[in-house]
Structure formats: structure tokens, C-alpha cells
Amino acid sequence: MRGERHALRAGEYLVSRACRRLPARIREERYQEWLAELPVILHDSGVGPAPLRVVRMLAFAADTLRGTTLAPGAYAYRGAHRGAHRGGAAKTIRWLAVGVLLLGALLGCLLALLAYEGYLIDQLVAGASLTFAATIVLVHLASLAASRIPRWDSATIRWYSMGKVAAGAGLLVRAIASQSGWGHPLLFAIISYVGCATSVACLGVAVVLLVRSSPRSSTLGGSASS
């Protein structure tokens, strides 16, 4: 089912992020071990209905990330999750709680992103606010600068930020022109539409980069470079 494939991809992404924190010589082994657990949990009919299995699988994947984050050496983490989906009720409750929190956080981020994009469209249609446009430009310029720092380097964030800077700049020019009475309003409306179209294109590139960077390619790439 398509929903199961999406859930597995989300679980694989979390596991791949967890494995990137492990020493190189055990990274691939742990990745394969934890990855093999995901479909087992997802198809374990004894756990309950499909939504519960999805939550439990995502909770397991999130727990690998939590465990590798909290265990600096990571060697003691070897086999910590092997067969863990068959554990007791306490672990089940913990995983369910983690899974619900994870799904809630993902849903919250998605709703916030949709609201943000919706407000941008509203500004584009109804007329740009000078304060809002300037805030977009400044915030995403800072985000773009941060994405150049090696520790936080991210092509996905870089492209997303460039798009939002373009959209904000178009809205900012339109807002300044509107308040100052410059030129024909249609000209600056076109400029703002071009900025938002550029933002949509950059968002598409960011989504493609995000999909291509996870889950397996990032882990194997890290192993090969090590």
C-alpha cells in the first residue's frame, strides 16, 4: 500500500539519521539490522490494526535516533533494538508515546508550513505588507547564511531559503513602490509574481534534494567516504 511505503520511507530516514551518529565500522551493520526491523513491525498482525503498527514502527525508528544521540560511544548500543518490537508492555507504551509525539510534531510542522505558504499567497494577491516582506527577506537571508556553515550545511535549506528570499524581495519591492507611489502598480505586481514563481521553483528543487538525500543514499555515502 502507498501509505505503508511512505511510512517505511519515514522510518528509513530516521534510522539513517541515527546510523550517521555511529562509528563508521559498525554503521552499515546497524543500519541493515535496524532497517530489517521496520517491515517486521509494520506487518506484525499481532500488534493490532495498521495505524497502530505504523505508529509503533515510527516509534521504533525514532528510538534508534534517540538512543544514538544519547549514547556518545554508540558501541554499547549494539543490538539494543534487536527484536525490541517483541518487548513488554512498558516498551510498547513508550514507543506509542514517542510515535504519537513524532506524528504530532510532523503534522504540526506541516500545518505551520502550509499556513506560512498560504499567507505568502494572500500577501501576493491582496497586496504586500512592508513589515512582513522585510521580515521574510531578513529571516531567510540568515537561514541561507547558516546553511553555508559546514556544521549546518544543507542544500535543501539553501534552495528553500533562496526561494523565500526571492519571494520576499518581490513582495518588498511591491510594498515600497505601493507606499511611495512609484511607477505603474501592474509592473511591481508582475515583479512580485516573478519572485513567488522563483520561490515555487526553488521549493521544487529543495523537495527533490530532500528525497534524494535519504534514507539509504546518505548512509551508504557516509560509509563509502569513511
- pTM equals 0.50
Q: What angle do CA 54, 56, 60 make, to 5 degrees?
A: 115
CA distance 196 to 31: 40
**pLDDT band at residue 144 under the 50/70/90 scheme:** confident
Instruction: Give percent of the chain with pLDDT exceeding 70.
Output: 77
Average pLDDT over residues 171-183: 85
Q: Are 120 and 128 in contact (CB under 8 A)?
A: no
| Helices 50-70, 89-126: inter-axial angle, 10-degree rounding | 90
pLDDT at 222 over 50: no
The confidence score (pLDDT) of residue 181 equals 78
Average pLDDT over residues 215-225: 45
Domain boundaries, the chain: 2-105, 127-212
The confidence score (pLDDT) of residue 223 equals 46
Per-residue pLDDT tens over the stretch 61-109: 888 877 777 654 543 444 444 444 444 455 556 666 776 777 788 788 8
The confidence score (pLDDT) of residue 75 equals 39
Which of 26-35, 89-98, 181-190 has the least mean pLDDT? 89-98
